[in-house]
Amino acid sequence: MKLISSIKKLCLCCMEEHEVSFVEVEETNTFKGKKLYYKARYEYCDKADEYISNEDMIEYNYFSMKDEYRRQNRLGID
């Protein structure tokens, strides 16, 4: 887990105000029969030891996975 930044805010996981970390982790997923390893972003609640994603993160993670698929299959991504 790589720390990107952190901010004090209301954590939507534990519903307490504390320092919430924005992190990048390596995810594994299977897409169209290919096992993919790609970087995904989440908020991290250290009190609950849970990852949380908002709509922007879900979209980022989806495109990160698809970009990795394109790279592996030489479909126009450098």
State the pLDDT at residue 20: 97
- Secondary structure class of 12 (helix, strand, coil): coil
Q: Helices (DSSP H) in 12-76: which residue ranges?
A: 55-72
State the pLDDT at residue 76: 73
Instruction: Please enumerate in sequence order all residues whose Cβ is within 8 A of that of 62, keeping only pairs 6 or more positions apart, or say none.
Output: none
Q: What is the pTM of this model?
A: 0.84
Q: What domains appear along the chain, each with residue ranges and CATH number?
A: 2-72 (3.10.20)
Mean pLDDT for each consecutive 10-residue tract of the chain (78 residues)? 96 96 97 95 97 97 96 79
Q: Which helix (H) or strand (E) element contains residue 31?
A: strand 17-31
State the pLDDT at residue 75: 86
State the pLDDT at residue 78: 55
